[in-house]
């Protein structure tokens, strides 16, 4: 059995400037995290400025899955490109194409499918966090009942779409992992961010974080290698993305 040819990474933003300069775009971080788990190719499309590939369009059969990146944009701002992306996502999920949303990608999936994204009333979540599982699911294959990973966000999924199931939570966010459909998942954390990347985010936002009352040095001290959230993205590739002869 072979693999379908292409994973399409849907870009919705860029990493903070220092991380972008040192480590590259979100697409690069995602491809590096997936690594040898995927032997097919990748294509990147920018949801803000480019047309997104419609299910059923020529070449759509060669798309194995979509991965929606993070962004510094905010779903509640309802910008025109977000509304276009949400309409497209409804078609993608309806067609059953495997889809995995990361942070902003997780949120825009929730909004597109009938949920609501809001400013998190518990405040910003950034740095190394502990996710508690609510259920067994293929997305958690090989992961313990709680695991540490990296996050940076100020918005949250306040209301789940109909039919969605929340699979994991943290102290500051009720919906860290959501299964929207059999082939569609979202994670509020960043499986593609290693310790170097999240430390770069914390350092870049030092002044903002201090103004919000965070102990930035303590946040940085908690950062360490070995975050396990990357396993969710690998499990998506291994268990949700179909192989093709």
Which residues form the catalytic set? 103, 190, 192
**Straight-line distance from the first to the last Cα atom of the chain, in angstroms, rounded to the nearest whole number:** 4
DSSP bridge pairs for 46: 11
At residue 156, the 3 state secondary structure works out as strand
- Unique residue bearing structure tokens 């009938």: 114
Return the bridge partners of 123, or none. Answer: none
How many residues would you count in the chain?
Answer: 245
Check if the beta carbon of residue 239 is closer than 8 Å to that of residue 37. Answer: no
Q: Give exposure, 177-208, as e/b (b: 16+ Cβ within 10 Å).
A: bbbbbebbbbbbbbbbbbbebbbbbbebbeee
What does the block give as tokens for 29?
């971080």
Residue 110 is given by DSSP the state H
User: Can you say whether residue 166 is alpha, beta or left, with left for phi > 0 and alpha for psi between -120 and 50 degrees?
Assistant: beta
């Amino acid at each position: 059995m072979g693999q379908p040819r292409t994973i399409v990474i849907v870009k919705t933003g860029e990493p903070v400037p220092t991380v972008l300069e040192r480590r590259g775009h979100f697409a690069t971080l995602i491809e590096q995290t997936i690594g040898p788990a995927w032997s097919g190719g990748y294509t990147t499309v920018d949801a803000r400025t480019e047309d997104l590939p419609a299910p059923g369009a020529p070449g759509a059969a060669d798309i194995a899955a979509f991965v929606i990146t993070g962004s510094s944009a905010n779903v509640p701002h309802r910008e025109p490109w977000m509304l276009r992306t949400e309409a497209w996502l409804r078609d993608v999920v309806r067609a059953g194409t495997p889809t995995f949303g990361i942070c902003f990608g997780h949120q825009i999936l929730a909004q597109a499918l009938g949920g609501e994204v809001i400013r998190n009333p518990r405040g910003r979540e950034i740095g190394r966090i502990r996710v508690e599982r609510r259920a067994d699911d293929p997305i958690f294959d090989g992961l313990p009942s709680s695991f540490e990973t990296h996050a940076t966000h100020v918005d949250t999924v306040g209301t789940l779409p109909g039919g969605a199931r929340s699979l994991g939570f943290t102290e500051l966010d009720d919906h860290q992992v959501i299964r929207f459909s059999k082939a569609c998942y979202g994670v509020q954390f960043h499986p593609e961010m290693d310790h170097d990347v999240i430390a770069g985010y914390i350092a870049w936002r030092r002044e903002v974080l201090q103004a919000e009352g965070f102990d930035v040095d303590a946040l940085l001290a908690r950062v360490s290698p070995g975050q396990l959230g990357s396993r969710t993205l690998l499990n998506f590739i291994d268990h949700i993305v179909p192989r093709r002869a």
